[in-house]
Structure 1
Amino acid sequence: MSAPDAPPILAETDDVLAPTTVLSLVKTQVTSAPDAQAVRCGGASVTYGTVWQRSEELARTLVRLGVGQGRTVGLYAERSTDIVVMIIGVMRAGGVCVPLDVSYPEDRIRYMCDDAKVEVVVGHAEFFSRIGDFKPWAELGGVTIATRTDVNLLANAWTSAAETAELPELATDDLAYVVYTSGSTGRPKGVMYEHGNLANLIAWQIHDSRCTSTHRTAQFSPASFDIIFQETFTTLGSGGTLVCCSEDERLDPALLGDLIEREQINRIFMPFVAIQALARFAGNMTSRTHPLLEILTAGEQVQCGDRIREMFERLPDCRLVNQWGTTESHVSTRYSLPERVADWPALPPIGRPIAHTHIHVCDEHGGPVPHGEIGELWVAGAAVGRGYLGLPERTAANFLPDPCDAGTRAYRTGDLGRVNSQGELEFLGRKDTQVKVRGFRIELGEIETLLNSMPEIAEAAVVVIGSDDASERFLQAFVVPASPDLNRTEIAAALRKALPGYMVPSQIATVGSLPRTPSGKLDRLALVMAR
């Protein structure tokens, strides 16, 4: 590893102090305002005191069943008050949350349960037939606890602590959750995240957010993704109200807009494609009817096209926050776009690190490169999780010593970036999918921003087609028409007026919709394969 050539990009908020676990933040709110609304679902609300009492009942039952510190517990339920109770209850028992999406194929869910050694699942009983050899063991107010039929936990794991159902004291290095990300071998990888990692993120997010105890946050994320922990504990840790949306509302921007107005939602964490979809239905949105203060997005390049700008012009009290990170480091950086929408760059940077976290831009040998040069983004500090579950060699290859401090762990993300002239980080795509055509490095987001600004296009994506031979590679655009009048020749002509010739797609195909990953991100590989 070469000597450092440039200092890391440091956090600006290292004065934020994190508790040992996020549970203490929630308990503080329970103590101070037990009758305040904690969660709303389907128009009905549940108080902080009720959520805490229900989670304690679940936690003590799990402890009696043998669930203790480090034991994985599957969460298998639809978006609801129950899933909030389940997350808090499993953590209070000392268990490790393993979120399972009810929409996942059976084989994937069973693989995740086997890989994580899940022997107890809590959730909604109507879905349990899809997860193999589990059978109901107990029911607690709408939440069912199930165990594997071939595992007698009561006989094998009963302890003196379990006899009295005492809840354990948790440490920062205890595991909080395991979430699964796509694996390069075709099998998903379990990523381990500790209580200290999560507590640092949530304490920073509460400090950074505009929302307080008087505001409402949408529970938008699918239950199987790490964003659900950010939504839940940022809201409940600050005394706010979490509002569950239905799956229809999550997928239909018109219904989502109705929910924001009806429930007076102030904050929402959502992928950028969902923001794009919401912007197409934003013609009747105002700060009076849709009192949004923050929209936070992560996972994809933000593209500030005309529709996005127009929506935020209609919502002058709402800021757009671009967050970046990986499953292995959750949120690592943030950039709040300027107050004046007219000042927004077409492709915003990802900004600066969160508290107690720093970023290096490294060459292929792990040596930091000078500011302004492109390199791989390495995350170091409190945002970096423990590693991959059951994959020590993969963990050792990706979780390495900090290039500037061998005593600190870093995670090499595989994402490309650089430090701009303002000292902020720019995200430039994946290292293993770097876009280069005919010798030119191309930012696909720049092309997509133009396409998505055209009134005749509802959605657009651009991919590289062809072999590794640069002479055989070309750009192809996929567009979802907003009207039957879409003319591909005119679209190509408009692109040629705005872009260099090498950035104009060779082909433009119309499609009914763009494929998504389970988390709602654009699935570029599916576009390439379906061509």
Structure 2
Amino acid sequence: MSDGISTEKTMLVHEMVAAQAAAHPNIIALRWPGGELTYKQVHASIQRFARHLSGTRRAALLNDRSPELVIAILAVLAGGGGCVPLDNTYPKRRLDHMLADSGADTLLCRSHLADLVTIPTGCRLEILDDVIKDIDQADEPQFATEISAEDAVYVTYTSGSTGWPKGVAMPHRAISNFISWQVADSGSAVGWNTLQLWPFSVDVAFTEIFSTWASGGTVVLVTEDTRRDWGSLLRYVEEQQIHRIWLSFTTLYQLIEAAHEIKLYPASIREVITAGDQLRINDSVRDFFARTGAQLQNQYGMTECSIVTAKTLSGDPRDWPDRPSIGTALPNIVVEVVGEDMRPVPVGEEGEICIGGVCVPEGYLNLPELTAERFPFWQGRGARAYMSGDIGRLLPSGEIEFLGRRDTQVKINSARIELEEIEAQLRALESVRDALVTAHDETDEQFLAAHCILAEGFDLEAEQLRRELADVLPRHFVPARYYQVDSFPFTHVGKVDRDALARTVSR
């Protein structure tokens, strides 16, 4: 854990970027297929658009892998606002809910995406098509506005048990602390290329951009077609001389398998950072890192607190453990394994991972009861904490071992999913009286299975259920398999036995 909480003022993220632009104006800051911008050009575009957005409190941005969107993110921050990233692959009803719930007063997107959402009253539309025009004009003066460390950098949404996602506003103090640590910990500097791979609706995408521009490196965008083909992505990594890349373990494993298949091991890779899954090391992973010489860092965090711990694996990959720990807490963050009384349990005993320090936000947007439950006051620390719902144990080394979830939240192909959210949407369907969902992680497949008690007069129509769920849930939330049951099994204490239900799924 990290007990010492520093009171020293940290630069805000957009200030870090501005400092690099002043120090290295002619270094390439952003590169994409077909173009590039220097730090001077990026800074001028940010300042020009920030001035235009002045007065914006919260700006929603539709996910669009483009230089305009990257510029817009920093412009929103420099103008004193916060970002609300929206995934344009989500169903319209879900996007409408997130846009309205977030309280966004501006929607930013390129023109071809403008019809994907319903713009609520009080929210204006701004088209991004011309954000980076006239980039060679005279220098733009620094736009100045009062910004508090408590103001939100972004609002991101995570799966919720009510049937709708829940939003979290991450303050500047949390993100500045994390990015400051990431810059100091990483080798990224002028001349380093970082691949921008994650969707902008996931907070890791902000880390890719912020930590690179705060260190004088180059952010390299990738097309969706390249991103979805592992062989093409590897070739792009080699072509662009990528030094650093963030991956979930699932995507890391797929990339490694592609590397072995096409016999391509980009020598430029120096750092691979994983987040979002339990990291597992096998011989295939060891061989890849032995061939590239890169180091592997396992970061642990969640939407509610961003990244809170890290463990770096370097040296001979043959010596890496099969299941690395999640490491120790970052500076100004407290991470402890606690019992029900929120007191630390002895070394080696299982407990819930509890998080405190500068990373903890005020709670969930518009959900006071859930906030009180998951963000309680930590008597032992005299401040708000976040109860992660993750089970872990403190090791004698001081590192923490991640053991799994204590509730119905699961990870499927790196996506965090509340099973109760899917169940709530199933129960809302005319043909379903009750439903439970189980998660399955087999050797070659991760999937969700829906177990449905049907309403009277209805037969199980799996394809129809898929279509109806796809209208309100992201694609990766929609179960792959459907089973009709007459009732659910119960444990001896009267609780639904999800494990017994899961065992009924055919292999």
Task: State the TM-score bracket (shorter-chain normalisation).
Answer: 0.7 to 0.9
Q: Secondary structure at the match of 2:307?
A: coil
Report what 2:49 is aligned to: 58
Aligned-residue Cα RMSD (Å) equals 3.1
Matched, 1:295 2:286: no
Query: Structure 1 pair 111/264, CA: closer, same or farther in 2 (3 Å)?
Result: same
Q: Aligned letter for 1:385?
A: P
Report what 2:227 is aligned to: 250
Aligned length in residues: 423
Give me the identity figure in percent: 34
Counterpart contact for 1:86–1:123, Cα < 8 Å: no
Deviation at 1:43, TM superposition (A): 4.3
Query: Structure 1 pair 349/523, CA: closer, same or farther in 2 (3 Å)?
Result: farther
Report what 1:366 is aligned to: 342
Matched, 1:92 2:82: no
Report what 1:425 is aligned to: 400
Q: Secondary structure at the match of 1:191?
A: strand
> 1:217 and 1:370 mapped to 2: Cα distance?
40
Counterpart contact for 2:45–2:131, Cα < 8 Å: no
Deviation at 1:83, TM superposition (A): 1.5
Q: Secondary structure at the match of 1:290?
A: coil
Structural mapping, 1:370-385, within 5 Å: 370-385=346-361
Q: Secondary structure at the match of 1:358?
A: strand
Counterpart contact for 1:16–1:355, Cα < 8 Å: no
Flag structure 2 segments of 5+ consecutive residues without an equivalent: 133-140, 414-418, 420-437, 446-469, 484-504
> 1:105 and 1:176 mapped to 2: Cα distance?
25
Report what 1:10 is aligned to: 2
Query: Structure 1 pair 267/18, CA: closer, same or farther in 2 (3 Å)?
Result: farther
Report what 1:411 is aligned to: 386
Report what 2:374 is aligned to: 398
Deviation at 1:359, TM superposition (A): 0.8
Counterpart contact for 1:268–1:296, Cα < 8 Å: yes
Report what 2:431 is aligned to: none
Deviates more, 1:341-350 or 1:245-254: 245-254
- Among candidates 259, 283, 297, match of residue 282 of structure 1: 259
> 1:333 and 1:125 mapped to 2: Cα distance?
39
CA displacement 1:196-226 (0-9 Å, x = unmatched):
1110000000011122122000001101111
Report what 1:512 is aligned to: none
Q: Aligned letter for 2:284?
A: R
Q: Aligned letter for 1:10?
A: S
Query: Structure 1 pair 173/285, CA: closer, same or farther in 2 (3 Å)?
Result: farther
Report what 2:98 is aligned to: 112
Counterpart contact for 2:395–2:401, Cα < 8 Å: yes
CA displacement 1:99-145 (0-9 Å, x = unmatched):
0112111111111111112231112110111111379865565349x
Structural mapping, 1:179-194, within 5 Å: 179-194=156-171
Report what 1:335 is aligned to: 311
CA displacement 1:174-206 (0-9 Å, x = unmatched):
111100111011110010100111100000000
Q: Secondary structure at the match of 1:388?
A: coil
Q: Secondary structure at the match of 1:429?
A: strand
Q: Secondary structure at the match of 2:306?
A: coil
- Among candidates 336, 342, 348, match of residue 324 of structure 2: 348
Counterpart contact for 2:335–2:353, Cα < 8 Å: yes
- Among candidates 298, 305, 312, match of residue 289 of structure 2: 312
Deviation at 1:169, TM superposition (A): 2.1
> 1:137 and 1:478 mapped to 2: Cα distance?
45
Matched, 1:32 2:23: yes
Q: Secondary structure at the match of 1:255?
A: helix
Deviation at 1:434, TM superposition (A): 9.7
Report what 1:210 is aligned to: 187
- Among candidates 95, 107, 110, match of residue 121 of structure 1: 107
> 2:34 and 2:279 mapped to 1: Cα distance?
32
Q: Aligned letter for 1:401?
A: F
Q: Secondary structure at the match of 2:45?
A: helix
Query: Structure 1 pair 18/416, CA: closer, same or farther in 2 (3 Å)?
Result: farther
Matched, 1:101 2:87: yes
Deviation at 1:340, TM superposition (A): 1.3
CA displacement 1:144-168 (0-9 Å, x = unmatched):
9xxxxxxxxxxxxxxxxxxx99641
Q: Aligned letter for 1:276?
A: Y
> 1:343 and 1:310 mapped to 2: Cα distance?
12
Deviation at 1:362, TM superposition (A): 1.0
- Among candidates 115, 138, 142, match of residue 130 of structure 2: 142
TM-score normalised to structure 1 length: 0.74
- Among candidates 297, 301, 324, match of residue 321 of structure 1: 297
Counterpart contact for 1:18–1:200, Cα < 8 Å: no
CA displacement 1:15-54 (0-9 Å, x = unmatched):
8966241111111111111111011111421111111111
> 1:403 and 1:349 mapped to 2: Cα distance?
27
Q: Aligned letter for 2:20?
A: Q
Q: Secondary structure at the match of 2:279?
A: coil
CA displacement 1:444-485 (0-9 Å, x = unmatched):
99xx9xxxxxxxxxxxxxx9xxxxxxxxxx99763449xxxx
Counterpart contact for 1:29–1:237, Cα < 8 Å: yes
> 1:528 and 1:420 mapped to 2: Cα distance?
39
Matched, 1:169 2:155: no
Q: Aligned letter for 1:304?
A: I
Counterpart contact for 1:273–1:522, Cα < 8 Å: no
Matched, 1:45 2:36: yes
Query: Structure 1 pair 55/285, CA: closer, same or farther in 2 (3 Å)?
Result: farther
Report what 1:478 is aligned to: 442
Counterpart contact for 2:47–2:142, Cα < 8 Å: no
Query: Structure 1 pair 207/426, CA: closer, same or farther in 2 (3 Å)?
Result: same
Counterpart contact for 1:75–1:98, Cα < 8 Å: yes
- Among candidates 373, 388, 395, match of residue 364 of structure 2: 388
Deviation at 1:433, TM superposition (A): 4.8
Counterpart contact for 1:368–1:403, Cα < 8 Å: no
> 2:481 and 2:342 mapped to 1: Cα distance?
31
TM-score normalised to structure 2 length: 0.77
> 1:524 and 1:429 mapped to 2: Cα distance?
20
Counterpart contact for 2:342–2:378, Cα < 8 Å: no
> 1:285 and 1:58 mapped to 2: Cα distance?
45
Query: Structure 1 pair 312/83, CA: closer, same or farther in 2 (3 Å)?
Result: same
